[in-house]
Amino acid sequence: MKKAAAALLCAAVLLTAACSPQAFEFDEDAAVAAAKDVIDLVYMLDFDAVCALFREDVREMVSAEALGAAVAPILDGAGRFVEYTKAKAVAYNDKQYGEIIIVAVQAKYENEKLTYTVSLGRDFSLVGLYIK
């Protein structure tokens, strides 16, 4: 019953999303690969390298220390990386960051699943990173 209702709600959302065209053309496979590169660096706790990937206007707002403090505890609890389970990307015109590609990637770890939302510029420079 719950799953049927969820599927119905999901179908409605997908239908609405399907009706909205992409903001611009982009290579989805390349965007997903770029997002996974970011996630790999995050998993290796190489926050200096992650910061270096940020687009210049965003880089001044983040620091490797702050990123590490926010992300490391999440990864500590997740355990060893197992595999990427699914990924999807959309193009979006953001008021603040301009034309961006938002990539959602689900990764399976030993103890839990994490969903990363990685925002990239058209040149795949990093604009935003969110982990749930």
Partner 1 sequence: MSGQTAVILAALITVALPILAAAILAGGDKTRLLYALLGAATFLVFEYLLRFPLLSLLSNESLSFILFSQTQPVLYPLALSLSAALFEEGGRYLALRFLVRRRAFEDGVAFGIGFGGVESIALVGLPLLSVLITKEDVSGAMVLISAAERVFTMVVHIAFSVMVLRGVEKKRVWEILAAFALHTVFNFIALALQVAGYPVYVSELFILGFMFFMLGYILYVRINILGHAEKGDAA
- 9 near partner 1, judged by CB under 8 A: yes
For residues 123 and 46, the answer to whether their CB atoms sit within 8 Å is no
Task: Kindly state the helix (H) or strand (E) to which residue 102 belongs, with its residue range.
Answer: strand 98-109
Interface with partner 1 by CB under 8 A: which range of 45-53, 59-67, 69-77, 109-117? 109-117
The neighbouring-strand residues paired with 90 are 102
Residue from the set 45, 64, 75, 104 that interacts with partner 1 by CB under 8 A: 104
For residues 105 and 87, the answer to whether their CB atoms sit within 8 Å is yes
- 35 near partner 1, judged by CB under 8 A: no
Looking at this protein, which amino acid is placed at residue 61? Answer: M
Q: Can you give the binding site for partner 1, defined by CB under 8 A?
A: 2, 5-6, 9-10, 12-14, 16-17, 20, 86-90, 92, 102, 104-106, 113, 115, 117, 132
